Amino acid sequence: MNLKFYRKLYLDEKITNENEIIQQLENNIKVFNLYLICVSKNINYIFEIFSINEAFKDIYKDKDYIVVGMSYSKKQAFILIKSIFQDNIKDINHIKEKFLKNK
């Protein structure tokens, strides 16, 4: 999976080493229990949540994704998505495009 990171990531409060995690991911090093919130490739969805194990599967090897958030649990990833929607309520109809433009 080729990852690009949104300039202002939404982070689980337990993540204190954002740059270190990004560097590990860029070097294809798995980060234990990490979940990525990415802009969805599917036109029917806005975001997708990937466990780090899922993200490293061969089917995603040559795909590009924009990461907008990271968390240490799937439940927290859903809470972050809720925050993303709340923070972008004015742009709710164009939220996907906003994240694609402002990588």
pLDDT tens digits for range 83-101: 999 988 877 777 778 777 7
Give the pLDDT confidence score for residue 103 in this predicted structure.
61
Round to whole Å and give the CA distance between 15 and 70.
8
pLDDT tens digits for range 48-92: 999 999 998 999 888 999 999 999 999 999 999 999 999 888 777
Give the pLDDT confidence score for residue 36 in this predicted structure.
97
Average pLDDT (5-31) is 94
Round to whole Å and give the CA distance between 69 and 66.
9
Write down the pTM of the prediction: 0.88
Q: Domain limits of the chain?
A: 2-101
